[in-house]
């Protein structure tokens, strides 16, 4: 039961963070192109592989997703 509460809590925190990051992304549109790519790629990686699911495999997949996104945008991760 305690694990379910922790997972639910983490899910809520990640969801709120992604919502916040998405909403303020337009406020940082004046940042450098690399900053914009970093924000976009972090959000994309977290949406594909949520942190709430945990596990080392998810971390590796999230990292690979971020790296691929940054490379596609023309930047080094």
Q: Is 66 exposed, middle or buried (0-12, 13-18, 19+ CB in 10 A)?
A: buried
pLDDT of residue 36: 94
Would 36 be classed as within a structural domain? yes
- Give the pLDDT confidence score for residue 57 in this predicted structure: 87
What is the arithmetic mean of pLDDT over 11-21?
59
In-domain check, residue 77: no
In the predicted model, is pLDDT for residue 25 greater than 70?
A: no
Predicted TM-score (pTM) of the model is 0.58
Q: Please report whether residue 50 resides in a domain.
A: yes
| Number of domains comprising the chain | 1
| 10 in a structural domain | yes
Query: Considering the domain boundaries, does residue 63 fall inside one?
Result: yes
Is residue 69 within 8 Å of residue 44, measured between CB atoms? yes
Reported confidence tier of residue 8, pLDDT bands at 50, 70, 90: very low
Q: Which domain, by its residues, includes 52?
A: 2-72
């Amino acid at each position: 039961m305690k694990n379910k509460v922790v997972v639910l809590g983490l899910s809520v925190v990640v969801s709120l963070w992604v919502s916040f990051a998405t909403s303020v992304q337009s406020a940082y549109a004046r940042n450098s192109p690399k900053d914009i790519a970093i924000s976009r790629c972090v959000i994309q990686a977290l949406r594909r592989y949520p942190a709430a699911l945990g596990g080392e495999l998810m971390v590796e997949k999230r990292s690979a997703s971020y790296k691929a996104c940054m490379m596609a945008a023309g930047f080094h991760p």
